[in-house]
Chain A
Amino acid sequence: MTIAEEQITEERSEMLARLGLDGQNKASMGRVLATGSIAEATERADGTMEATIRIKEDEVCWEPAILVLPHGGDLELTVINDDKNTHACLLPSNGDQKFLWLVNHSRGRATVRLDGPGYYWYSSPGGNDEGRGLTAAIVVQGEVPPEARLDRPSQPRP
């Protein structure tokens, strides 16, 4: 998996930092959602995707803030809590949400199945972790299968 720094303009990054939107107890109590990094999942030959998501010390946010998948399917996640506090992870998955308890300095695993295209939120569902910044996105790229598309000429998109 490759983790890039924020794929946003430098101007926006500077403004987020200057205004204190991208950290804990700066502008507000928590970190504004989706102000962190972006990463792409890797894909194995069988189409299964892999990625690592983690909680860094005292940042109370998921790293990356946006995880991008090339298509729908199965995603194997390594979930790490590097914080000195206990958190949890509640992930969307077809069939049922997946829950993982994350004590301080712990590492676990989760396998989720997601349709594409579209994007999903996941979080740490304890206390108000979700509001403080521990809510992040998984973005699934791609198109629906050809047989599910409308029988009409290609249409303009925004």
Chain B
Amino acid sequence: MTVEYVDAGEAVNHSALSSMPGIAPAVTNGIDYERLLNARSESQNWLTYYGAYDGQRYSLLDQINTGNVSKLSPAWIFQAGQSGQMAATSTYAFEACPLVVDGVMYVTGWDGSFWALDAVTGKELWRYKHAVPFDVSLCCSNVNRGCAVANGKVFFVTPNAQLLALDATNGDVVWQKTIGDVRAGESASIAPTVIKDTLITGSAGGEFGVRGHIDCWDLETGEQRWRTYTVPKPGEPGSETWPADGEAWQRGGGNHWVTGTYDPELNLYYAGTGNPAPDFDGGVREGDNLYTDSVVAMDVDTGEIKWHYQFTPHDLWDYDSTMEMTLFERDGKKLLGHFDKNGYFFVLDRTNGELQHVTPFVDRIDWGVITRDGKVTPRKYPDKEGEPVHFYPGPAGAKEWTHAAYSQKTELFYVPVADVGATATRRRREFKEGIPYWGAGVQVDIDDMAGSVSAFDTYGEEKWRWRIDYPMAASVLATAGDLVFAGTPTGEFVALDARTGEKLWEFQCGSGHHSSCSTYSVDGKQFVVVPVGWGGWLEGIVPGLLGQGHGSAVIAFALPD
């Protein structure tokens, strides 16, 4: 006898089986280019990845200050968690900076996750979860650095190189664009930047021998405005820095995987570029390898590279220069400050790229020397096949992607410093699309390391240092309350006196920090928020803490009522 099946109905959204309402106030409707230009003046909000186009990670909020920070305590905790299988299960982590608009927080996570939260209570308002292939190529873990907001929408990228525009009130997809080739080893992790009526993104995948590019998209439709490759073809400017008769340029790397900064007066977007590929085998790519390990100043309307400065010519140590290009002024001059993986702090004239000065910012540098006027002399690098070479800093750099802050009050930079070395042994290999293309075996030291939050003036002179036993691996925030906030790999979230480096407060968050904190206020109450959770490219950053417990929380702090 045939028994009829019970009708199980239609599958429902997983989030429908939760307490979240699925809707958020329409707070982003009025966010246009004018508001983004003045983002810092809206100190109650955190409207862009760095808080403002200049990349300073500096807030005007001062309710929480050196006099009362000792009373700071958790206001709420949001636990993200995960259901089902995901790519790179062992490496997921928060690497995002939360944005906040008029009481609504937007946070991205690993594996295509996006959450809208009530910024006062931490209550989940809606979520979006993109389906990310289990087999997507991820050089450095399943992470995402954040989103952009404008015109009623939020924008973010997924590990499988999709760019999404979501309705900011409910997470519904407005448009979706494929921005990279996952078969080639491309992925995406950058927080997009809204400029005018466009959106700027970059690609990831430099460890797979892709050709880096920076893209501009129409904000409303997702149509491409321009694409600029960061490795030139034969005959294009910069192609003379690659082998003339080879294929190296086709696999040259130079990916823009961390958000750039923007000077609206100059109409220039400052994009940092990543390492050349293969990372450690320079013999197959003789020359300086432009525009890898560089800042490229791009006309935002056309994508044309107006000028460039290369921080590590012919890189042999994996010294990406993707990290923030902080814009500041000194004596009326428009300048750009950059703390590079190679251990040196560069200050450039941002109108033309002219070098002002170079200074070291970490104790141990032996890969080579860069003089104050910018002359580079390599000393230790993988050269002979099979011969191990130890060098400082290791491939995660003296400062990884995590960001420094610059206080307009103290005129100091606050830098998360990593002091750890590594050994690379050159192992040449053939290039195959979609397969890692490093050209070496690499092991980062696990028993000799240090870190600090270090304060420097704009000339690179160190003013104070707050030391820890491990490399710093999270971004720093500076506020007008004369405070510097930073999270440690061992879970402490600390507030330092911006003028002295004295630790004034700490809270153990239960897992290591590898993201970017931000600050905001609602109804006159200031909060500091930090995504917490140990993970990411730990084998490169601090393998000595590879076994630390994971976490997946967003924690907001405030003063007692």
Contacts and interface: CB of A to CB of B under 8 A. Distances in A.
Interface of A: 79-81, 89-115, 117-123, 125, 130, 135, 137, 140, 143-145, 147-153, 155-158
Contacts of B229: 151
A80 B5 contact: yes
A114 B84 contact: no
Contacts of B430: 156
A155 B12 contact: no
Given A81-B8, A110-B11, A158-B432, A95 B173 contact: yes
B135 A118 contact: yes
B84 to A, nearest CB: 5
B267 interface: no
A94 B183 CA distance: 19
B250 interface: yes
A111 B131 CA distance: 13
Contacts of B14: 90, 96-99
A148 B11 contact: no
A155 B11 CA distance: 41
Return the 10 tightest CB-CB contacts between A and B, nearest first: A118-B133, A108-B8, A110-B11, A92-B131, A121-B85, A107-B5, A98-B11, A106-B6, A100-B11, A97-B14
B84 A122 contact: yes
Contacts of A93: 131
B8 A102 contact: yes
Contact of A148 (B9, B129, B178): B178
A153 B250 contact: yes
Contact of B251 (A103, A149, A155): A155
A53 to B, nearest CB: 12
Nearest to A103: B6
18 contacts: A94-B173, A95-B130, A96-B15, A96-B127, A100-B8, A103-B6, A108-B8, A113-B131, A120-B131, A125-B84, A137-B134, A144-B181, A144-B182, A147-B224, A148-B181, A156-B430, A158-B432, A158-B435
A149 B184 contact: yes
A148 B183 contact: no
Name which of B11, B178, B180 has the most chain A CB atoms within 10 A of its CB: B11
Interface string B109-143: 00000000000000000011111111110000000
B160 interface: yes
Interface of B: 3, 5-17, 83-85, 127-136, 160-162, 171-173, 176, 178-184, 186, 210-211, 213, 224, 229, 233, 247, 250-251, 430-435
Contacts of A89: 11
A120 B134 contact: yes
Contact of B85 (A80, A109, A135, A157): A135
Nearest to A153: B250
B209 to A, nearest CB: 8
Contact of A150 (B7, B84, B181, B224): B181
A144 B203 CA distance: 15
Contact of A105 (B5, B13, B134, B434): B5
Nearest to A155: B433
A119 to B, nearest CB: 5
A80 B5 CA distance: 8
Contact of A100 (B9, B160, B178, B433): B9
B13 A97 contact: yes
A155 B430 CA distance: 11
Nearest to B10: A109
A99 B211 contact: no
Given A120-B134, A156-B431, A96 B161 contact: no
A98 B16 CA distance: 10
A106 B431 CA distance: 50
A96 to B, nearest CB: 4
A95 B8 contact: no
Nearest to A98: B11
B277 to A, nearest CB: 12
Given A97-B129, A151-B211, A152-B211, 18 more contacts: A80-B5, A95-B13, A97-B13, A106-B5, A111-B10, A115-B133, A117-B133, A118-B133, A118-B160, A120-B131, A123-B84, A123-B85, A150-B213, A153-B250, A156-B433, A157-B432, A157-B433, A158-B434
